[in-house]
C-alpha cells in the first residue's frame, strides 16, 4: 500500500483530526456491541503515545429529522470510549462553531475530544454525505493532520473522510484500515488455493460485480441466501413466493454461463408458508411449492456447501445463506460458520455486515482469521473498485 500510515508522520504536539467508525448499535441509550469502539483503541493509543491532540469524528446511523438527533447523539459513545481508553473524553454536542473551536484550542497533548455525529450536517442539505466542500474545508481547518481509520465508510466520499483529506496539509490511514487492507489483500492479490467464496444476502444486484470478479479469481463460488432464488428461477425451477429479482434473471443466466462448474447453487431448501419464525419443511429438490417461500438452505445443500469448503485454503464469506435471525432458519448459516471455523491451516475472512453478525451470534469470532468492519467497503475492495476514503489519503513520499 502506497498510502501514508501512522508511522510516516510526526504527531508531536499536533492537532490531529481522526475519522473513526463509531456506528454501533444503541438501545435506550446503551451500547449493545462495542467492538467497533474497541477496534479504534490501537490508533488512539499510538496517537497519545506520540503526544497528539486528538479530535475525533464519526457518524451514527442516518439522520433525516430533528427528532433523529435525540437517538443518534454520540454522547453514549464518548462515555464508553472514556471507559475503554481509560482517559477522559471531552464531548462537544455540535459539529461546528465557537464552542467546538474553543475546546480544540484548549486541548493538551494526549487529550481526546469527540465531535457530535457528522450526519447531523445532513439535515441541512446532506452536507456530510454529499461531501460539501465548505464543510470539508471547515473540519480540515480544525487540525494539522488527518487520520482516516473508518474502513466501514471508506467506499463513500463524504465530507468527514474525502473532504477533510482533500483540504488538509497531511494525512494517513490508521491501524484499522492498514490491517483491513493487509487482510483483504490475502484474497485480492495472491490467495492460497483452493480459494472458495461464499456469497449470500438478499439481492443479486448488490453483488453482480463481486460475483464476476470472484468467478475469475476463486476456484469455487457458492451462492446462498435470498439471491439464490433469482438464479434458480433463471434455471427454470419453481421458487414459490420466495424473494426474487425478476429484472435480474437474464443477468443470472449470464453469470451461470460464465461460472459453469465454478458456481455452486443450493439443491434443496427449508420452506414455510409465511415470513414467520415457525418450523419449516425441507424440500425434496430445488422446486418450491407455489404457496411456500424458501428461508434457508436445506439439509442436502448444507452437505454440498460443506463438502466444497472442506479443502479450502482461503475463504471469503459475505452474506448469510438464510434468515439466520430466526432460529428456525438459522441452521444453514450456522453450518457455514461451523465449517469455516473448523478449517485447518486456512485463511478465512468474513466480510462484515450480516455475516459478521452471524459469526457473533454463533460464537465463532475467535475461530476465523479476520472479520472485516466494513461489509460494503470489503465487497467493493474485492471487486477491485477504488475506495474514495483511502484514495484521498496522501501517498508515501
pLDDT band at 199 (very low <50, low <70, confident <90, very high): very high
Question: Which of 168-177, 195-204, 335-344 bottoms out in mean pLDDT, i.e. has the lowest?
Answer: 195-204
Catalytic (active site) residue 186: no
Catalytic (active site) residue 72: no
Catalytic (active site) residue 203: yes
Please give the share of the chain, as a percent, with pLDDT higher than 90: 90
pLDDT, one tens digit per residue, over 28-39 is 889 998 989 999
354 assigned ligand-binding residue: yes
Cα separation, 192 vs 186, in Å, equals 8
4, 36, 53, 179: the catalytic one is: 36
Confidence check: pLDDT of 311 > 80: yes
pLDDT band at 352 (very low <50, low <70, confident <90, very high): confident
74 assigned ligand-binding residue: no
- Pair 317, 301: CB distance under 8 Å: no
The pLDDT, as a whole number, for residue 261 is: 94
- Pair 267, 240: CB distance under 8 Å: no
72 assigned ligand-binding residue: no
259 assigned ligand-binding residue: no
Confidence check: pLDDT of 80 > 90: yes
For the segment 345-360, the average pLDDT, to the nearest whole number, is 91
Confidence check: pLDDT of 209 > 90: no
The pLDDT, as a whole number, for residue 78 is: 97
174, 240, 353, 389: the catalytic one is: 353
Catalytic (active site) residue 29: no
Query: Which residues, at least 6 apart from 265, have a Cβ–Cβ distance to it below 8 Å?
Result: 223, 228, 231, 232, 235
250 assigned ligand-binding residue: no
207 assigned ligand-binding residue: yes
pLDDT, one tens digit per residue, over 223-272 is 999 999 999 999 999 999 999 999 999 999 999 999 999 999 999 999 99
374, 375, 376, 389: the catalytic one is: 376
21 assigned ligand-binding residue: yes
C-alpha separations of 74 from 25, 59, 61, 106 in Å: 11, 8, 11, 21
15, 203, 361, 367: the catalytic one is: 203
pLDDT, one tens digit per residue, over 87-146 is 999 999 999 999 999 999 999 999 999 999 999 999 989 999 999 999 999 999 999 999
The pLDDT, as a whole number, for residue 206 is: 80
Confidence check: pLDDT of 373 > 90: no
Question: Which domains, ranges and CATH numbers included, belong to the chain?
Answer: 6-176 (3.40.50.1260), 191-383 (3.40.50.1260)
For the segment 179-187, the average pLDDT, to the nearest whole number, is 95
Confidence check: pLDDT of 76 > 90: yes
Amino acid at each position: 500500500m502506497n498510502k501514508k500510515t501512522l508511522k510516516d508522520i510526526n504527531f508531536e504536539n499536533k492537532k490531529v483530526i481522526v475519522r473513526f467508525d463509531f456506528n454501533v448499535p444503541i438501545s435506550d441509550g446503551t451500547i449493545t456491541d462495542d467492538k467497533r469502539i474497541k477496534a479504534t483503541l490501537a490508533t488512539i493509543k499510538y496517537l497519545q503515545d506520540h503526544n497528539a491532540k486528538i479530535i475525533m469524528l464519526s457518524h451514527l446511523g442516518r439522520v433525516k429529522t430533528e427528532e433523529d438527533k435525540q437517538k443518534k447523539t454520540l454522547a453514549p459513545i464518548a462515555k464508553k470510549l472514556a471507559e475503554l481508553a481509560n482517559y477522559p473524553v471531552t464531548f462537544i454536542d455540535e459539529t461546528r462553531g465557537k464552542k467546538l473551536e474553543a475546546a480544540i484550542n484548549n486541548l493538551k497533548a494526549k487529550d481526546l475530544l469527540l465531535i457530535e455525529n457528522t450526519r447531523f450536517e445532513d439535515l441541512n442539505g446532506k452536507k456530510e454525505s454529499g461531501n460539501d466542500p465548505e464543510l470539508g474545508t471547515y473540519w480540515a481547518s480544525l487540525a494539522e493532520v488527518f487520520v482516516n481509520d473508518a474502513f466501514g465508510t471508506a467506499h463513500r466520499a463524504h465530507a468527514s473522510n474525502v473532504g477533510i483529506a482533500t483540504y488538509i496539509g497531511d494525512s494517513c490511514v490508521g491501524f484499522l484500515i492498514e490491517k483491513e487492507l493487509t487482510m483483504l489483500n490475502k484474497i485480492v492479490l495472491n490467495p492460497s488455493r483452493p480459494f472458495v467464496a461464499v456469497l449470500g444476502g438478499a439481492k443479486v444486484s448488490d453483488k453482480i460485480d463481486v460475483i464476476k470478479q470472484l468467478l475469475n479469481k476463486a476456484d469455487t463460488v457458492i451462492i446462498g441466501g435470498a439471491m439464490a432464488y433469482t438464479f434458480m428461477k433463471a434455471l427454470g425451477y419453481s421458487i414459490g413466493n420466495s424473494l426474487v429479482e425478476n429484472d435480474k434473471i437474464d443477468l443470472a443466466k449470464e453469470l451461470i454461463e460464465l461460472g459453469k462448474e465454478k458456481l455452486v447453487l443450493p439443491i434443496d431448501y427449508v420452506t414455510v408458508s409465511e415470513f414467520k419464525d415457525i418450523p419449516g419443511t425441507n424440500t425434496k429438490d430445488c422446486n418450491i411449492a407455489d404457496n411456500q417461500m424458501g428461508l434457508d438452505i436445506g439439509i442436502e445443500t448444507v452437505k454440498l456447501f460443506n463438502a466444497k469448503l472442506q479443502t479450502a485454503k482461503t475463504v471469503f464469506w459475505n452474506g448469510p445463506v438464510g434468515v439466520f435471525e430466526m432460529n428456525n432458519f438459522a441452521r444453514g448459516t450456522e453450518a457455514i460458520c461451523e465449517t469455516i471455523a473448523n478449517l485447518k491451516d486456512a485463511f478465512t475472512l468474513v466480510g462484515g455486515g450480516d455475516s459478521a453478525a452471524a459469526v457473533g451470534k454463533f460464537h465463532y469470532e475467535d475461530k476465523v482469521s479476520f472479520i472485516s468492519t466494513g461489509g460494503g467497503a470489503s465487497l467493493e475492495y474485492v471487486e477491485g473498485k477504488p475506495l474514495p476514503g483511502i484514495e484521498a489519503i496522501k501517498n508515501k513520499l
